[in-house]
Amino acid sequence: MLKSYYKLINETGTDEAGRGCLAGPVTAAAIILPENFKNDILNDSKLLSEKKRELLKPIIEEQAICYGVTHIYPKKIDEINILNASILAMHKSIDKLTTKPEFIIVDGNRFKPYKKIKHECIIKGDSKFLSIAAASVLAKTYRDAYMEKIHKEFPMYNWKKNKGYPTKEHREAIREFGLTKYHRKSFKQLPEQLKFPL
């Protein structure tokens, strides 16, 4: 059973999705849940089926005190690296909260201080705490929706299914068709170096 970290303060949980992908943005969400929020299905988004994530998304959005979601796109990822881009996405998501958080809990082990608000990094926090789990579901569903949208522009990569992750199918499509504007040029797409097709 997931729980809240603190109960008497405005705690925001934040998490990202898409960090290990070859294409598309890294997406983060931050959320403040009400003290009495409960949901028996909610868990780390990676442990939930797509159907359950889509079921949870409107419930989370409706019951949250506030939330924010941010995409950081490949060009910026290539400029500042994926770790900094992930933290930037989290910061920008916290910026969007209409209630100021008093404490931030972060999934993982890396974060940068945000406006002098105390924070704690929690490894596997998305399977331990409600607000991080809720943020993980929002980050994942918003990113998946974006990848399905750009799939229509480049269907040969099948982003609708692989969401930009380095599957065998995705790598074979890169080998055949090259890189697009949505690919992260700083990532090792294939063992050999690829250049943007002219």
Distance CA(127)–CA(143), nearest Å, equals: 19
Cα Rg of the chain, angstroms: 17
Is 153 annotated for ligand binding?
Answer: no
Angle between helices 130-151 and 50-63 (to 10 degrees): 120
Is 54 annotated for ligand binding?
Answer: no
Question: Which of 79, 77, 41 is CA-nearest to residue 60?
Answer: 41
Is 120 annotated for ligand binding?
Answer: no
Burial of residue 34, with CB atoms counted within 10 A of its CB: 0-12 exposed, 13-18 middle, 19 or more buried: exposed
Handedness of CA 93, 36, 103, 46 (dihedral sign): negative
Annotated binding site: 15-16, 107
Residue ranges for the binding site for a divalent metal cation?
15-16, 107
